[in-house]
Amino acid sequence: AQANPVLADLLDRRIGTGWRRDLMLLSGLREQHLDPALHQEFLSIKRANKERLAQRIRSELGIVVDPSSLFDVQVKRIHEYKRQLLNLLHVVARYQAILANPKGPDGQGWVARTVILAGKAASAYLVAKQIVHLAHDIARVINSDPRVGDRLKLVFLPNYGVSLAELIMPATDLSEQISTAGTEASGTGNMKFAMNGALTIGTWDGANIEMAQAIGADDVFIFGQRVEQLEQLRALGYDPRLYSEQDPRLSQVLETISAGGFSPGEPARYRELISGLLQRDRYFLLADFADYLGAQARVDELYADSSAWAGCALRNIAGMGYFSVDRSVAEYQAQIWSPAALLRSGINRPGPHA
């Protein structure tokens, strides 16, 4: 209602204003998700929000991005388990694929993307700060390469906080929730993105699982190995180097970064970062790389059909009511705090000497 008032007004007109006090009423939007007029209204609102963010990017960073491109966003604290580095590996793979095949994988051209990162790294967290540095280096090369043009841009927005989130989330097309399965307790940014009409690409981890169940798994881009598969991989002896040897795309990405392709003034800058992946890869980036690229290809395919994309985004919004704090507190009251619940649990029962 505050960060995306035009979308809130659209919801008011379509399903009434009651959703502002009872978020479960968002489910009424599902009945209208095939309405072409609603698709156009939604896409128009999304476009305006993207233009607003594009203006911020240009004024703050001097980078011109295309508002018609897919805004692919990952904003959160920089941490190895949240796998911003996997996102960057995809960006490099996409960059190299565009150079190798300018006409696109199907000869119909590439779906243009603007990849946006934001988040803070702890001051003593060396690897996290390396990842931030790498993002800037990759962006510098890609954004200035005339062979790529507007088909791919990478942006790292500084000083991430609530005010910036209120600008980014309404403008997002694709929300990156790609933590290693079993590592993310339960974030809430993924819910905020979906409420603002973003689709999610993510692992079967944390609140992503509940979101997929509430929205419908077919309307979320799920990829990657699940907890039990990773446990089995550990037990068998995970060798990340094998994944690089078996996937030429991955091998080329890692070799380019390690050899200084994005840091020519300091060729060895990321050698240790990449060797760490090849030797240990605690968070299974290389094991999930191929499936991640496959999910991104499905994203491209859906985004090329604007009406289908809009319908999916509307179903995402419709499924967000369950995540209201009001629903959560009501369940606590009924199941834990109410007198009947306390009696069932044995709390406050009279003792033998009462």
Q: What is the pLDDT of residue 106?
A: 86
Tokens 């001051």 label which residue?
123
Low-confidence ranges of the chain (pLDDT < 50): 351-354
Report the alpha-carbon angle 131-204-200, nearest 5. 70
Q: Distances from the Cα of 189 to the Cαs of 169, 258, 305, 346, in angstroms? A: 9, 32, 26, 37
Rounded to an integer, what distance in angstroms lies between the CA atom of residue 78 and that of residue 209? 22
What digits encode the pLDDT tens for the residues 161-171? 999 999 999 99
What digits encode the pLDDT tens for the residues 63-75? 999 999 999 999 9
Rounded to an integer, what distance in angstroms lies between the CA atom of residue 194 and that of residue 313? 8
**CA nearest 43: which of 68, 19, 23?**
68
In sequence order, what are the beta bridge partners of 74? 117
Q: By three-state DSSP, how is residue 70 classified?
A: strand
Q: Are 180 and 230 in contact (CB under 8 A)?
A: yes
Terminal Cα-to-Cα distance of the chain (whole angstroms): 52
Rounded to an integer, what distance in angstroms lies between the CA atom of residue 340 and that of residue 344? 6
Q: Distances from the Cα of 293 to the Cαs of 151, 240, 289, in angstroms? A: 17, 17, 6
Q: What are phi and psi of 15, to 5 degrees?
A: -125, 10
> What are 306's two structure tokens?
């604007």
What digits encode the pLDDT tens for the residues 181-192? 999 877 789 999
**CA nearest 311: which of 48, 40, 70, 111?**
40
Tokens 């203006």 label which residue?
55
Largest CA distance in the chain: 84
Give the other-Cβ count within 10 Å of 256's Cβ: 19
Rounded to an integer, what distance in angstroms lies between the CA atom of residue 214 and that of residue 207? 10
Rounded to an integer, what distance in angstroms lies between the CA atom of residue 45 and that of residue 10? 9
Give the other-Cβ count within 10 Å of 141's Cβ: 17
- Nearby residues of 30 by Cβ (< 8 Å), 6 or more positions away: 314, 315, 318, 319
> What are 88's two structure tokens?
């960057």
What digits encode the pLDDT tens for the residues 227-254? 999 999 999 999 999 999 999 999 999 9
282 alpha-carbon distance from chain centroid: 21
Q: Are 199 and 299 in contact (CB under 8 A)?
A: yes
Give the other-Cβ count within 10 Å of 182's Cβ: 17
Q: Distances from the Cα of 262 to the Cαs of 92, 129, 155, 271, 338, in angstroms? A: 10, 16, 15, 12, 59
> What are 212's two structure tokens?
């997929």
Taking the alpha carbons of 269, 252, 144, 71 in that order, is the dihedral positive or negative? negative
Q: What is the pLDDT of residue 185?
A: 73
Q: Distances from the Cα of 173 to the Cαs of 88, 176, 199, 208, 333, in angstroms? A: 18, 10, 6, 17, 36
Q: What is the pLDDT of residue 180?
A: 97
Q: What is the pLDDT of residue 354?
A: 44
